[in-house]
């Protein structure tokens, strides 16, 4: 079931445990609790909000206008071409926070209504260049994606990012995900975040039998396959020296109300479905809500923080509805290389040269 049901999870788990003994843990795995600042994200979120001062906003404004007037391509935006001498030290501190601290940063204070679509993109990419090294391709051509409820158009079925439904906990791809709220929803739509480390610690206490299931390389993903197979298999959870990481989404592992997997793809086993639900409910217990405000830029460590979304009600005029820009970012210096099963993803997203036209790589409006 795409939307997890707690009653069903508890009932099915109890029935399974009554029928069979828990599977023994592989000897290479031990499941101690792990302590880190990345497990404290809910407690310190307010401390990680950068509220821009008048001098910061003026500096950003001048950098934006200078870049816009230069006529340079959006691909060329970087720290050198978008200079922020007053703000750069503070952003460098927050870049470190994304990987060595709580893993989430909010930059607040920009007024998107002051700028054109292209200028807002320049500002977003410019600030993001101080918080990570490289931008990645999210679709066949797009480096920038517009997240907006498009379901008023009844002639097409839209995938989850383009609707107003609640989204269960998941990750995207890349080391850091960045979002710029051009317009907040009229009601609802808050982001929900849960550190992977907190999820792991809860599972150590409540469902230790499911941890080896999450680490097995037999989960049948259907998303950006790195080879020509119909699907590919890899773990959901990875254990390394810096603690657990997760990369997954429910929509790539099962049918959703808005997306069906091609026929013939291996389905989840019952215990995989149980483990996937266990992750969601542990994240619910560990998570906290962030109410997005118009003008917010949200950055979070995608490998170590799960995220979801509450459903939302929006304005009748689609042009006035909730509108968020998204970037996928890589930071090799801070995050290191992806673990081996994910290296093909990172290569495809961040290292593939794309010769598509700029309007395809950096669309000014949603293209769906």
pLDDT tens for residues 48-100?
A: 889 999 999 999 999 999 999 999 999 999 999 999 999 999 999 999 999 99
Per-residue model confidence as pLDDT tens digits over 216-262: 999 999 875 454 556 789 999 998 777 899 999 998 999 887 778 88
pLDDT digits (tens, 9 = 90+) for 271-304: 999 999 999 999 999 998 999 999 999 999 999 9
CA distance 64 to 83: 9
Whole-angstrom distance, CA of residue 235 vs CA of residue 213? 8
Q: How far apart are CA 237 and CA 243, in angstroms?
A: 10
What's the pTM?
A: 0.91
Cα 210 to the center of its chain, rounded Å: 24
Count of domains forming the chain: 1
What does the DSSP assignment read for 63-77?
HHHHHHHHT--GGG-
Question: Which alpha helices (DSSP H) does the chain contain, by range?
Answer: 6-19, 41-44, 54-70, 88-100, 117-128, 196-206, 211-215, 270-286, 332-335, 343-350, 358-361
Q: Does residue 287 fall inside a structural domain? A: yes
Residue 271 located in a structural domain: yes
Strands 232-234 and 167-170: unpaired
| 364 belongs to a structural domain | no
Tell me which residue has tokens 């969601």: 280
Pair of tokens at residue 174: 């890349």
289 is a domain residue: yes
pLDDT at residue 28, rounded to an integer: 45
Domain enclosing residue 112, as ranges: 41-353
Residue 361 lies in a domain: no
Best CA proximity match to 60, nearest among 145, 140, 122: 122
Task: Examine residue 15 and state whether it is found in any structural domain, yes or no.
Answer: no
Give Cα separations from 237 to 38, 104, 178, 231, 240 (angstroms). Answer: 16, 20, 22, 18, 10
Determine, yes or no, domain membership for 36: no
Report the pLDDT averaged over residues 37-45.
55
CA atoms within 13 A on the CB side of 73: 10
Buried b / exposed e over 327-364, threshold 16 CB at 10 Å, is bbbbbeebbeebbeebebbbeebbeeeeeeeeeebbbe
Q: How far apart are CA 314 and CA 264, in angstroms?
A: 38
Residue 55 belongs to a domain with what CATH number? Answer: 3.60.130.10
pLDDT of residue 116: 96
In a domain, 241, yes or no: yes
Confidence of residue 150 (pLDDT cuts 50, 70, 90): confident
């Amino acid at each position: 079931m795409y939307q997890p049901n707690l009653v069903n999870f508890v009932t099915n788990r109890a029935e399974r445990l009554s029928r069979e003994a828990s599977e023994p843990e592989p000897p290479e795995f031990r499941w101690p609790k792990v302590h880190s600042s990345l497990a404290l994200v809910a407690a310190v979120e307010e401390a990680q909000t950068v509220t821009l001062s008048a001098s910061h906003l003026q500096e950003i404004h001048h950098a934006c206008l200078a870049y816009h007037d230069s006529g340079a391509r959006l691909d060329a935006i970087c720290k050198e071409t978008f200079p922020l001498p007053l703000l750069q030290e503070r952003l460098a501190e927050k870049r470190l926070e994304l990987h060595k601290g709580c893993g989430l940063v909010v930059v607040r204070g920009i007024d998107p209504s002051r700028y054109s679509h292209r200028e807002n993109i320049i500002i977003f990419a410019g600030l993001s260049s101080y918080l990570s090294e490289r931008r990645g391709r999210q679709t066949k051509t797009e480096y920038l994606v517009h997240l907006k409820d498009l379901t008023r158009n009844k002639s097409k079925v839209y995938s989850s990012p383009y609707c107003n439904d609640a989204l269960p906990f998941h990750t995207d791809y890349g080391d850091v995900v960045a979002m710029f709220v051009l317009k907040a929803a009229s009601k609802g739509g808050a982001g929900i975040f849960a550190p992977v480390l907190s999820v792991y610690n809860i599972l150590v206490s409540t469902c230790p039998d499911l941890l080896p299931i999450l680490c097995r390389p037999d989960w049948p993903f259907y998303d950006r396959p790195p080879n020509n197979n119909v699907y590919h298999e890899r773990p959901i959870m990875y254990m390394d020296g810096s603690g657990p990481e997760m990369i997954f989404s429910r929509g790539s592992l099962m049918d959703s109300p808005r997306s069906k997997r091609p026929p013939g793809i291996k389905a989840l086993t019952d215990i995989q479905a149980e483990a996937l639900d266990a992750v969601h409910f542990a994240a619910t217990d560990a998570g906290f809500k962030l109410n997005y405000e118009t003008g917010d830029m949200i950055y979070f460590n995608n490998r170590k923080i799960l995220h979801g979304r509450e459903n939302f009600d929006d304005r009748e005029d689609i042009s006035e509805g909730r509108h968020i820009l998204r970037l996928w970012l890589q930071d090799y210096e801070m995050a290191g290389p992806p673990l081996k099963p994910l290296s093909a993803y990172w290569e495809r997203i961040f290292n593939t040269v794309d010769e598509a036209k700029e309007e395809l790589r950096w669309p000014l409006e949603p293209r769906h």
